[in-house]
Structure 1
Amino acid sequence: MKKYLDIISDLGEGFGSYSIADDSSLLALVSSANIACGFHAGDPRTMASAVEKSIENNVGVGAHPGFPDLVGFGRRAMDLSSWEVTTDILYQIGALHAFVKAYGGELQHVTPHGKLGNFSVVDQRYAKAIAEGIAMFDPSLIVVTMPGELAEAAKKKGLRVAYTIFADRTYNDDGTLVARSNPHAVIRDPDTVVERVIRMVNEGKVTSITGKEIEVNGHSLLLHGDTPGSLQLAKQIKNALMSAEIEIRRLGDWIN
């Protein structure tokens, strides 16, 4: 059976005159993009540029809403009410959608960023609030997340779900990601990353940080563009996937 995989990356995460990743180069490699919506990163000009370039490259555009935390890049915990989370989600999706519409594209998916994304996997209250906001805006959108509470809340709302797997992040035994505070949270060796990716896609398995074999189920492979050597690593991963006869396709073209 033909295997498909979406390659996705976080884009538009600059602010003003500052930028983090080489968005233009990454867009030549990925099939979908998570674009920051102004809360953890991004501003109107950055968002407009990221959306325009994504559409030009036939890359699926997704909203990447996060906590209102520019200083902490959305990676700090915030204790928000369910209504605050839902309305923050609506606000951010709506902001990005304005640019998508202006440039003649369509919004493909939503995936929460950073600490909000982490909470959504394990916290039912946050998960339900996020799913509510997405469903209120557009129930045809794909929810991109890890297995957990958000995936279940989204399914109950009738939303399509795509699971994320991570190229360069280590996993805990329960399938969650190792916290970035751990020095082994990010895998630096390119050959190790490529080998793990091929195994995750072909076998549905990965070795956890403790050496345990765990199952992973993924539709989208997330590549981080803000780590040293990330662009070259992305090229290696894509070449390896193509050599393994795994077809790279954006989510909207094959997720039911």
Structure 2
Amino acid sequence: MSQHDRTIDLNIDGGESLGRWQLGADEALAPLASSINVACGWHAGDPATMSDSIRLAKDHGLALGSHPGFPDLVGFGRRQMAFSPVEAAQAVIYQTGALRALADQQGAPLRHVKAHGSLYGMMIRDDNIADAVADAVGEMDPELILVLEAGQTAERQRTRGHRVAAEAFADLEYTDQGHILIDPQNQRRDPQWCADRARQILAGAVRSANGIETPIQADTICLHSDRPGAEDNARAVAAAIRNSGMTIRALDPTNL
């Protein structure tokens, strides 16, 4: 959260349809959010869906980011895979490059990179993976923002000189140690629960199911477009942000 102008980014994981199979409430969430992370074809998405997502971002003034994951269409990128640091870095650059090429065609700038699902989780657990991915993104384009879990993962890459946005999640549970619990089934969440989580984040903490609080400082809050009831969740979270006196605004690289 920017302490200078009282703004917070609200990002959505989107672009996760595949051909004729439609998934997610991207169209409904776009007017409520400020950034979108677009699947790049490995866990979901395809060139047409990616292009449509870029167009949606342009139409609604959303900051555009890549959302690279594992090559796991069946498991939607939420199953663990054995990638070395080099392989993880190459996977992120490969997928981000594909989205960037399509974005260039439409004259849309790429603002950030955020790993998806179990790849995101691997970067939390394994510093070597996180370092390799962060270094590769920085080599690709030092202006790109790397979106990482708020806390130690984000701070490590920030101290290593990377442009980082610390992220918290309004629709996920947290462990007692302050890490997200990836939800393979993506169950429906009560919108009020999501709004309460957003207020916790804005107040500088997340609370586990056991009531353990972990202090965090977040630059961006995430919602999942593919979660059942995503539009209701987004409306509740956006209202909670506004009622807290905050403005929803895309990440500003100059403040990171």
| Same fold flag (TM > 0.5) | yes
Aligned length: 253
Letter in 1 for 2:249: R
CA 1:138–1:206: 2 relative to 1, 3 Å: same
CA 1:150–1:216: 2 relative to 1, 3 Å: closer
Letter in 1 for 2:181: V
2:115 maps to 112
Gaps of 5+ in 2: none
After the TM superposition, which residues 13-162 of structure 1 pair with which residues of structure 2 at under 5 Å, given as runs? 13-147=16-150, 150-152=153-155, 154-155=157-158, 157-162=160-165
Tell me the distance in 2 between the aligned counterparts of 1:199 and 1:231.
20
Letter in 1 for 2:144: L
* Cα displacement string for residues 95-125 of structure 1 (whole angstroms, at most 9, x for unaligned residues): 0001111111111100100000001012012
* Cα displacement string for residues 195-234 of structure 1 (whole angstroms, at most 9, x for unaligned residues): 2211320x21232111112212211110112222110221
2:240 maps to 240
Identical-pair percentage: 36
Q: Give the superposition deviation at 1:137.
A: 0.9
Q: Give the superposition deviation at 1:82.
A: 2.3
| TM-score for the superposition, normalised by structure 2 | 0.92
Tell me the distance in 1 between the aligned counterparts of 2:151 and 2:235.
30
Tell me the distance in 2 between the aligned counterparts of 1:25 and 1:45.
19
2:191 maps to 190
**CA contact 2:16–2:226 (8 Å) conserved in 1:** no
Letter in 1 for 2:255: I
- Which moved further from structure 2: 88-97 or 203-212? 203-212
**CA contact 1:168–1:186 (8 Å) conserved in 2:** no
Letter in 2 for 1:248: I
CA 1:192–1:14: 2 relative to 1, 3 Å: same
Tell me the distance in 1 between the aligned counterparts of 2:188 and 2:208.
12
Q: Give the superposition deviation at 1:189.
A: 2.3
**CA contact 1:123–1:149 (8 Å) conserved in 2:** no
**CA contact 2:205–2:215 (8 Å) conserved in 1:** yes
* Cα displacement string for residues 160-209 of structure 1 (whole angstroms, at most 9, x for unaligned residues): 1111111121111111113436x9x96722223212211320x2123211
2:211 maps to 211
* Cα displacement string for residues 47-80 of structure 1 (whole angstroms, at most 9, x for unaligned residues): 0000111012110000101111112111111112
| TM-score for the superposition, normalised by structure 1 | 0.92
**CA contact 2:66–2:96 (8 Å) conserved in 1:** yes
Letter in 1 for 2:197: R
**CA contact 1:170–1:177 (8 Å) conserved in 2:** yes
Q: Give the superposition deviation at 1:152.
A: 4.7
**CA contact 1:140–1:159 (8 Å) conserved in 2:** no
